[in-house]
Amino acid sequence: MQEKIEQLKTLLHEIHDLGAASAVLEWDQQVNMPRGAAEDRGEQSATLSQIVHIKSTSDELGKLLDELNEHAQTLDKDSDDARLIKVARRHFDKNTKVTGKWVSAFAKETAVAQSVWEEARATDNFELFRPHLEKLVDLRKEYAEFFKPYDHVYDPLLDDFEPGMKTAEVQQIFSDLKKEQVELIQELSQQPQVDNSFLFLEYDGDGQLEFGKKVITDFGYDWNHGRQDISVHPFTTSFGLNDVRITTKIVPDFLSPCLFGTFHECGHALYEQGIAKKYNRTPLADGASMAIHESQSRMWENLIGRSKPFWKRYYKDLQAIFPNQLGNIDLETFYKGINKVEPSLIRIEADEATYNLHIMLRLEMEIGLMEGSINARDAAEVWKEKFKAYLGIVPPDNKDGVLQDVHWSSGLFGYFPTYALGNLVSSQLWEKMLEDNPAASQQVEAGDFSKILGWYREHVHQFGAKFEPQELVMKITGQKINAAPFMRYLKSKFGEVYGL
């Protein structure tokens, strides 16, 4: 049977390599490609996607998995081979339900739509993007149809990013969370507001990059197997465990996006760089799910990057780069400023207390678009209505409203809930890490992240996609994903910042 395991790995390596080539094209499109090349890139992406789909659904792969199924029953269920067979089988079963024609059409449309979205956002022109949004919504509805019967039309989309999780499960978690978060936000709003005006001065882009690179080098980002570039929307991509790249975004008159965006994407990259190399070029060389992935990025961005111990170590370095802007701002004022709680327009710039409301809004929008209760042509106006209901403010335009995120132009319906779930998981894992490493705060203050990173390497990163998300969280913490640790964290932190 070992010979058949090796045959399976050979086939999976080929599929992975083709997927990596496709990822290179996507990275280049968002970092380097001239806008006018979108149509050609769409054709290239469609061709590659079709080849990947053919190989991913081949009779040879299906027959091999059938032959290995019995063998897998004789193995320790947590062995690498058993888990590889299980995950490969899951991918095969999903892929064989989807037609090659759909895969090609989707790849072509997303390549063009991303380029159009960039222009539409830059010019605040929703009508330019609207036909592509309508097409992508139709394509994702068509995709869901491949997986009938389902409990909810959104389930197949969510399952792509959170294996095994159902729409009803997420809605229940969010329903429980929303009440507590809104109560906390209302309580904080009654306190004197903190000042963060110093964040909105002119900050040289090179200086922003210099500071971010210094910090993520200290975090443990391996530049020998990664790089950082600039893109319209920050992202992380991997072409294999030895090539994990990040991008960031520079806003000249707002310090936070580049700083915290860099920390965030580094968190994703540290996860990918920490997966056991023996899984490289197989389906196990990935995160357990996007919520687990987001737990890592949100942890480095917020639990560490917005903490007081962190800034006790790094604030003088930032002041040295920006003496005119921050020289007269003391540490306490800076710390409170970067943790100001206030409803805002942009998700990636939102504070920790209001962030999940941005996600709940998007989940409601996506479910409505898939169910048909919201028409894609009306998305801009519906967005404004829901934004007012969730956050009490109305976007003055569409570039900071319905056009602010890249996800829909990439066809990533089902992705957004993972951000909020990631917030919850980040706090659950952090509490457990603190039990095992109670000196973590002192380590952060010293700029020594080796033990913290080492803990996550041991308990999360090395396993890649070997375990399903709920299974992994249960294995580490003894509980399934829940909101209690996250709410404890929010109440403790912001109670201190606002003097409750």
Among candidate residues 351, 356, 342, 362, the one with its CA nearest the CA of residue 425: 356
Q: Which of 265, 352, 366, 468 is catalytic?
A: 265
Q: How many domains does the chain have?
A: 2
Phi then psi for 254, rounded to 5 degrees?
-155, 115
Is 162 among the domain residues? no
Identify the pLDDT of residue 139: 98
Q: DSSP labels for 330-366?
A: -HHHHHHHHT-----S-GGG--TTTHHHHHHHHHHHH
Q: Does residue 160 belong to any structural domain of this protein?
A: no
Instruction: Specify the pLDDT at position 198.
Output: 98
Answer yes or no: do 282 and 398 share one domain: yes
Residues 122 and 228 both lie in one domain: no
In whole angstroms, give the CA distance from residue 436 to residue 278: 27
Task: Count Cβ atoms within 10 A of the Cβ of residue 157 and give its class: 0-12 exposed, 13-18 middle, 19 or more buried.
Answer: buried
Query: Average pLDDT for consecutive 10-residue bins of the chain (500 residues)?
Result: 93 97 95 92 93 96 94 92 96 96 95 94 97 98 97 97 94 91 92 96 98 98 98 94 97 96 98 98 97 97 98 98 98 98 92 95 97 97 95 95 96 96 97 98 98 98 96 96 94 94
Q: Are residues 110 and 185 in the same domain?
A: no
Same domain, 383 and 489: yes
Q: What is the DSSP string of 467-499?
A: S-HHHHHHHHHSS-S-SHHHHHHHHHHHHHHTT
C-beta separation of 117 from 390 below 8 A: no
- Which of 152, 154, 163, 48 lies closest to 94, judged by CA? 163
127 shares a domain with 183? no
Residue 120 covered by a domain: yes
Question: Is 158 inside any structural domain?
Answer: no
Q: Are both 393 and 435 inside the same structural domain?
A: yes
Active site residue 265: yes
Query: Letter for the amino acid at 230?
Result: I
| Residues in contact with 411: Cβ distance below 8 Å, sequence separation at least 6, in sequence order | 106, 109, 110, 113, 136, 139, 140
Residue 228's DSSP bridge partners are 246
Q: Are residues 134 and 247 in the same domain?
A: no
* Together in a domain, 135 and 177: no
Q: Compute the distance between CA of residue 199 and CA of residue 203 in angstroms, rounded to an integer.
A: 9
Backbone angles phi, psi at 220, to 5 degrees: 125, 10
Q: Are residues 182 and 288 in the same domain?
A: yes
**Is 157 a domain residue?**
no
Is pTM beyond 0.75 here? yes
In this prediction, residue 392 carries a pLDDT of 92
Give the tokens for residue 7. 């045959």
Boundaries of domain holding 41: 2-149
pLDDT at 141: 98
